[in-house]
Structure 1
Amino acid sequence: MIDWPAHIKPHRMSWGRRFNTRAFTSPLSQSQQITGAPGAYWQCSLEFPSLNREKERALTTFIGRLQGMAGTFRLRPWTRPPGPFAGNAVVDGANQRGAQIATRNWQASKVVLRAGDYITVNNQLLEVLDDVSSNAQGRAVIPVAPWLRVSPTNGEAVNYQQPYAVMRLSEDEQMFDVQALIASGTITAREAF
């Protein structure tokens, strides 16, 4: 796994989740039943309308290192900067599953995360669904989406200062429009797990 080149930022980034739901529609009444399952993932599209030669070289060599869809990379969602430092948070207890994470080692009795913040636990990017306050012992339960895919280990770090998603290219073919002084192109990716 490699890191996205920090000095290359897209001009435009489309970012969001794809949930794992199925709809069953009655042909007679058109009523629907919806079923949901774990397996939601992040996806994005990164647009680069005018890369200078240096950045175009850096981006194409980064893609070369990935070897198409085979490689994975850490991508930070630039859309939401993290809040201030609030402690060295870790997972509090093993065998956690579902839509919340028990944590400890926060600064005591304060708001430690805000609704919409991103965190990374066990290489999975999660969105915080509500404001989270720690108790007097520095413990807090964090409601998250999507659900945890793999149970994190007790004591695993909660990365809220530099959260990232583990991504892979959505397709092997990657083309850039190269002109005399600039290049342009779009990269699409989805979460890798």
Structure 2
Amino acid sequence: MVLNFDAYYLEPIHEKHAWGLCDFVTSNADRLKRYFPLTLAANLTPELATIFTHKKVKEFHTKEEFLFIIRSNSEKNILGMVYLKELNWETKQGELAYCIGYTEEGKGIASKAVQNITDWTFKEHSLKTLQIIVHKTNVASIKVAQKCNFTWQKTLPKEHTPPNENPLDMELYERYNSTSK
């Protein structure tokens, strides 16, 4: 399964992505260290990235978590990632987390990727609610949430603790599936 948009596409994580994922996280380490510290740590070497991708492929197939990579039609480098995580199949709720490489920032790629994953999630998995949790200083991520019709709900006190920092209050954005039953 591939989700195409403009000159880009999203595809599910695959074992073949290990080396590319290692390249992506190491070249974007400064961008990932605060909000994606576990993903960063799990992909710092090709060997670690191989273990990570095997785990994420299994989670994709068992519907525990879905990780997609963003790629360009013209280049095969990984440009970003979108997670569908924290899935609760009883309440039909999940959370989106996303990141884009520094070379692609400001091009609207993350917004279009999140919109495509949102549409896919609502259609294929009939979730009722998707959440995005973001820090108030992450203006680019807030813009992605807003462009994709997620609405601010509330501040979550001490929701995320980055490495070597105190816990941070995070902002909760939600979008509801208008077609779910």
- TM-score, length basis structure 2: 0.24
Task: From the two aligned structures, give the one with the greater strand fraction.
Answer: 1
- TM-score, length basis structure 1: 0.23
Task: From the two aligned structures, give the one with the greater helix fraction.
Answer: 2
Task: Give the greater-gyration-radius structure (CA).
Answer: 1
